[in-house]
Amino acid sequence: MLVTYMNGAGNDFMVMDARGKSLDLPALAVKFCGLTGADGFMATDVSDKADFRLHFYNSDGTRGEMCGNGSRCICRFAYDNNIAGKEMVVETDAGLVYGWRVDENRYRVKLNNPSILDLHRKGDIAYAELGCPGVPHAVMEYEGDLWDNADKLKETFRTLRYDSAFPKGANVNFFQMMGDSEIRILTFERGVEDYTLACGTGTASVAAVLWKQGRLPGGVLSAHNRGGLLTVTVGGENGTITSLLLEGPTEVCQIYDIEG
Protein backbone atom coordinates (compact mmCIF):
# COMPACT_ATOMS: atom_id res chain seq x y z
CA MET A 1 0.00 0.00 0.00
CA LEU A 2 1.15 3.53 -0.77
CA VAL A 3 1.85 5.74 2.25
CA THR A 4 2.88 9.38 1.95
CA TYR A 5 5.21 10.96 4.50
CA MET A 6 4.29 14.65 4.93
CA ASN A 7 4.81 17.53 7.30
CA GLY A 8 3.13 20.81 8.09
CA ALA A 9 5.61 23.26 9.63
CA GLY A 10 7.55 20.27 10.94
CA ASN A 11 4.51 18.45 12.37
CA ASP A 12 4.88 15.14 10.48
CA PHE A 13 2.42 12.46 9.43
CA MET A 14 2.08 9.22 7.54
CA VAL A 15 -0.92 9.49 5.19
CA MET A 16 -2.85 7.01 3.06
CA ASP A 17 -6.05 6.70 1.06
CA ALA A 18 -8.22 4.13 2.83
CA ARG A 19 -11.46 4.70 0.92
CA GLY A 20 -13.30 1.44 0.40
CA LYS A 21 -10.77 -0.57 2.42
CA SER A 22 -11.21 -2.54 5.64
CA LEU A 23 -8.05 -1.89 7.66
CA ASP A 24 -6.84 -1.96 11.26
CA LEU A 25 -6.04 1.75 11.36
CA PRO A 26 -4.72 1.91 14.97
CA ALA A 27 -2.24 -0.88 14.22
CA LEU A 28 -1.20 0.80 10.98
CA ALA A 29 -0.66 4.06 12.86
CA VAL A 30 1.85 2.42 15.17
CA LYS A 31 3.53 0.54 12.31
CA PHE A 32 3.83 3.42 9.87
CA CYS A 33 4.79 6.08 12.43
CA GLY A 34 7.44 3.71 13.72
CA LEU A 35 9.11 3.76 10.29
CA THR A 36 9.74 7.50 10.26
CA GLY A 37 9.11 8.68 13.83
CA ALA A 38 6.08 10.65 12.60
CA ASP A 39 3.78 12.40 15.07
CA GLY A 40 0.61 10.94 13.63
CA PHE A 41 -1.18 8.85 11.02
CA MET A 42 -4.05 9.92 8.80
CA ALA A 43 -6.34 8.01 6.46
CA THR A 44 -8.98 9.31 4.07
CA ASP A 45 -12.37 7.61 3.87
CA VAL A 46 -15.70 8.18 2.14
CA SER A 47 -18.15 10.67 3.65
CA ASP A 48 -21.82 11.41 3.07
CA LYS A 49 -21.49 14.98 4.36
CA ALA A 50 -18.11 16.18 3.05
CA ASP A 51 -15.64 15.61 0.23
CA PHE A 52 -13.98 12.92 2.37
CA ARG A 53 -13.61 11.63 5.91
CA LEU A 54 -10.43 12.05 7.97
CA HIS A 55 -9.38 9.36 10.45
CA PHE A 56 -6.59 10.72 12.66
CA TYR A 57 -4.41 8.66 15.00
CA ASN A 58 -1.50 9.60 17.22
CA SER A 59 1.76 7.70 16.84
CA ASP A 60 0.83 5.39 19.73
CA GLY A 61 -2.35 4.27 17.94
CA THR A 62 -4.77 6.35 20.02
CA ARG A 63 -7.45 8.19 18.07
CA GLY A 64 -7.51 11.97 17.99
CA GLU A 65 -10.53 14.18 17.39
CA MET A 66 -8.69 16.03 14.61
CA CYS A 67 -5.41 17.83 13.97
CA GLY A 68 -4.81 21.34 12.64
CA ASN A 69 -1.57 20.78 10.73
CA GLY A 70 -2.82 17.30 9.87
CA SER A 71 -5.92 18.86 8.32
CA ARG A 72 -3.77 21.16 6.23
CA CYS A 73 -1.64 18.21 5.10
CA ILE A 74 -4.64 16.00 4.34
CA CYS A 75 -6.06 18.81 2.18
CA ARG A 76 -2.87 18.82 0.14
CA PHE A 77 -2.94 15.02 -0.04
CA ALA A 78 -6.57 15.12 -1.22
CA TYR A 79 -5.83 17.73 -3.89
CA ASP A 80 -2.65 15.99 -5.11
CA ASN A 81 -4.51 12.66 -5.36
CA ASN A 82 -7.66 14.01 -7.06
CA ILE A 83 -9.85 13.29 -4.03
CA ALA A 84 -10.96 16.93 -3.80
CA GLY A 85 -10.51 20.27 -5.55
CA LYS A 86 -8.82 23.49 -4.46
CA GLU A 87 -11.62 24.11 -1.94
CA MET A 88 -12.83 21.21 0.14
CA VAL A 89 -14.78 20.08 3.19
CA VAL A 90 -13.32 17.44 5.52
CA GLU A 91 -15.36 15.41 8.00
CA THR A 92 -13.52 14.91 11.31
CA ASP A 93 -14.48 13.57 14.72
CA ALA A 94 -14.61 17.19 15.95
CA GLY A 95 -16.86 18.39 13.13
CA LEU A 96 -16.51 19.68 9.58
CA VAL A 97 -13.25 21.41 8.60
CA TYR A 98 -13.05 23.62 5.49
CA GLY A 99 -9.80 23.72 3.52
CA TRP A 100 -8.25 25.82 0.75
CA ARG A 101 -5.20 25.43 -1.46
CA VAL A 102 -3.36 28.77 -1.30
CA ASP A 103 -0.52 27.65 -3.56
CA GLU A 104 1.46 24.47 -4.22
CA ASN A 105 2.83 24.31 -0.68
CA ARG A 106 0.59 26.55 1.45
CA TYR A 107 -2.82 25.41 2.69
CA ARG A 108 -5.40 27.08 4.91
CA VAL A 109 -8.10 25.43 7.01
CA LYS A 110 -11.02 26.75 9.00
CA LEU A 111 -10.73 24.99 12.32
CA ASN A 112 -13.64 24.11 14.57
CA ASN A 113 -14.63 26.99 16.86
CA PRO A 114 -14.01 26.54 20.59
CA SER A 115 -16.76 24.64 22.38
CA ILE A 116 -14.93 25.42 25.65
CA LEU A 117 -12.74 28.46 26.32
CA ASP A 118 -11.91 28.82 30.02
CA LEU A 119 -9.27 31.46 30.76
CA HIS A 120 -8.68 30.23 34.32
CA ARG A 121 -9.11 26.47 34.33
CA LYS A 122 -6.12 26.06 36.68
CA GLY A 123 -4.96 29.40 38.05
CA ASP A 124 -3.45 31.31 35.13
CA ILE A 125 -3.59 28.26 32.86
CA ALA A 126 -6.35 28.51 30.28
CA TYR A 127 -8.16 25.57 28.70
CA ALA A 128 -9.70 25.33 25.24
CA GLU A 129 -11.44 22.63 23.26
CA LEU A 130 -11.78 23.19 19.52
CA GLY A 131 -14.85 21.44 18.14
CA CYS A 132 -17.35 19.16 19.83
CA PRO A 133 -16.09 16.76 21.02
CA GLY A 134 -13.14 19.08 21.13
CA VAL A 135 -9.37 18.81 20.89
CA PRO A 136 -8.20 19.65 24.45
CA HIS A 137 -5.46 22.24 25.00
CA ALA A 138 -3.96 23.81 28.11
CA VAL A 139 -2.45 27.25 27.43
CA MET A 140 -0.02 29.23 29.59
CA GLU A 141 2.18 32.27 29.02
CA TYR A 142 5.86 31.80 29.83
CA GLU A 143 8.21 34.54 30.98
CA GLY A 144 11.69 33.75 29.69
CA ASP A 145 13.35 32.08 26.74
CA LEU A 146 10.92 29.26 26.04
CA TRP A 147 12.89 27.26 23.51
CA ASP A 148 16.21 27.53 25.34
CA ASN A 149 14.53 26.21 28.48
CA ALA A 150 12.60 23.42 26.73
CA ASP A 151 14.59 20.56 28.29
CA LYS A 152 14.18 21.97 31.80
CA LEU A 153 10.45 22.45 31.27
CA LYS A 154 9.62 19.02 29.89
CA GLU A 155 8.65 17.48 33.22
CA THR A 156 6.36 20.46 33.91
CA PHE A 157 4.66 19.89 30.55
CA ARG A 158 4.32 16.16 31.21
CA THR A 159 2.77 16.75 34.65
CA LEU A 160 0.22 19.22 33.26
CA ARG A 161 -0.65 16.84 30.42
CA TYR A 162 -2.13 14.45 33.03
CA ASP A 163 -3.39 17.07 35.51
CA SER A 164 -6.86 16.40 36.93
CA ALA A 165 -7.96 19.87 35.80
CA PHE A 166 -8.05 18.40 32.29
CA PRO A 167 -10.28 15.30 32.47
CA LYS A 168 -9.57 14.21 28.88
CA GLY A 169 -5.87 14.77 29.27
CA ALA A 170 -4.52 17.79 27.44
CA ASN A 171 -2.04 18.94 24.89
CA VAL A 172 0.02 21.54 26.73
CA ASN A 173 1.08 24.81 25.11
CA PHE A 174 3.41 27.43 26.57
CA PHE A 175 3.85 30.66 24.64
CA GLN A 176 6.28 33.56 24.84
CA MET A 177 5.30 37.01 23.58
CA MET A 178 7.81 38.25 20.99
CA GLY A 179 6.03 41.46 20.02
CA ASP A 180 2.57 42.69 19.13
CA SER A 181 0.59 39.71 17.80
CA GLU A 182 3.73 37.58 17.58
CA ILE A 183 4.64 34.62 19.77
CA ARG A 184 7.02 31.74 20.17
CA ILE A 185 5.22 28.50 21.12
CA LEU A 186 6.13 25.08 22.45
CA THR A 187 3.63 22.20 22.53
CA PHE A 188 3.70 18.85 24.35
CA GLU A 189 1.19 16.55 22.63
CA ARG A 190 -0.77 13.72 24.16
CA GLY A 191 -0.44 10.49 22.20
CA VAL A 192 3.04 11.57 21.11
CA GLU A 193 4.02 12.18 24.77
CA ASP A 194 6.71 14.62 23.77
CA TYR A 195 7.23 17.97 22.14
CA THR A 196 6.30 18.28 18.49
CA LEU A 197 7.86 20.76 16.07
CA ALA A 198 4.48 22.41 15.55
CA CYS A 199 0.84 22.05 16.58
CA GLY A 200 -1.91 23.70 14.58
CA THR A 201 -4.75 23.36 17.07
CA GLY A 202 -2.35 24.34 19.86
CA THR A 203 -1.38 27.50 18.01
CA ALA A 204 -5.05 28.26 17.34
CA SER A 205 -5.90 27.69 21.00
CA VAL A 206 -3.28 30.25 22.02
CA ALA A 207 -4.72 32.68 19.47
CA ALA A 208 -8.21 32.10 20.88
CA VAL A 209 -7.01 32.77 24.44
CA LEU A 210 -5.18 35.96 23.44
CA TRP A 211 -8.22 37.17 21.50
CA LYS A 212 -10.51 36.47 24.45
CA GLN A 213 -8.10 38.38 26.71
CA GLY A 214 -8.23 41.38 24.39
CA ARG A 215 -4.55 40.98 23.47
CA LEU A 216 -5.03 40.30 19.75
CA PRO A 217 -6.65 43.52 18.51
CA GLY A 218 -5.92 42.89 14.83
CA GLY A 219 -7.17 39.33 15.05
CA VAL A 220 -4.05 37.87 13.38
CA LEU A 221 -1.39 35.91 15.26
CA SER A 222 2.05 35.04 13.88
CA ALA A 223 3.27 31.97 15.76
CA HIS A 224 6.85 30.73 15.55
CA ASN A 225 6.85 26.97 16.10
CA ARG A 226 10.20 25.22 16.13
CA GLY A 227 9.28 23.69 12.75
CA GLY A 228 8.02 26.82 11.04
CA LEU A 229 5.73 29.83 11.07
CA LEU A 230 1.95 29.42 11.35
CA THR A 231 -0.61 32.19 11.03
CA VAL A 232 -3.98 32.18 12.79
CA THR A 233 -6.72 34.66 11.93
CA VAL A 234 -9.45 34.95 14.57
CA GLY A 235 -12.90 36.28 13.78
CA GLY A 236 -15.52 37.05 16.40
CA GLU A 237 -18.05 39.41 17.86
CA ASN A 238 -19.52 40.15 21.26
CA GLY A 239 -16.81 38.10 22.96
CA THR A 240 -17.57 34.97 20.91
CA ILE A 241 -15.17 33.43 18.41
CA THR A 242 -16.85 32.71 15.09
CA SER A 243 -13.85 31.77 12.93
CA LEU A 244 -10.36 30.31 13.33
CA LEU A 245 -8.28 30.18 10.14
CA LEU A 246 -4.94 28.34 10.26
CA GLU A 247 -2.45 28.81 7.43
CA GLY A 248 1.08 27.58 6.84
CA PRO A 249 3.44 25.43 4.79
CA THR A 250 3.08 21.76 3.85
CA GLU A 251 5.67 19.40 2.42
CA VAL A 252 5.56 15.99 0.77
CA CYS A 253 8.75 14.27 1.92
CA GLN A 254 8.55 10.73 0.53
CA ILE A 255 6.10 8.13 -0.76
CA TYR A 256 6.52 4.57 0.53
CA ASP A 257 5.17 1.36 -1.00
CA ILE A 258 4.66 -0.83 2.08
CA GLU A 259 3.41 -4.40 2.19
CA GLY A 260 0.22 -4.82 4.19
Mean pLDDT for all residues in the chain: 96
199 catalytic residue (yes or no) = yes
Task: For 102-115, write each residue's pLDDT tens digit.
Answer: 999 999 999 999 99
Residue % of the chain over a pLDDT of 70: 100
pLDDT at residue 133, as a whole number: 81
* Terminal-to-terminal C-alpha distance of the chain: 6
Sequence-distant contacts of 17-25: CB under 8 A, at least 24 apart: 17/43, 17/44, 17/77, 17/81, 17/83, 18/43, 18/44, 18/45, 18/55, 19/44, 19/45, 19/46, 19/52, 19/83, 20/46, 25/55, 25/57
Active-site annotation holder among 33, 73, 75, 199:
199
Question: Nearest 5°: CA angle at 198, between 59 and 96?
Answer: 75
pLDDT-derived band of residue 58, with 50, 70 and 90 as boundaries? Answer: very high
Q: Give bridge partners of residue 189 from the DSSP assignment.
A: 194
Q: What is the mean pLDDT of residues 194-218?
A: 96
Check if the beta carbon of residue 216 is closer than 8 Å to that of residue 234. Answer: yes
67 catalytic residue (yes or no) = yes
Active-site annotation holder among 33, 67, 73, 75:
67
3-state secondary structure of 174: strand
pLDDT at residue 260, as a whole number: 63
Q: Indicate the pairing of strand 2-8 with strand 52-58.
A: unpaired
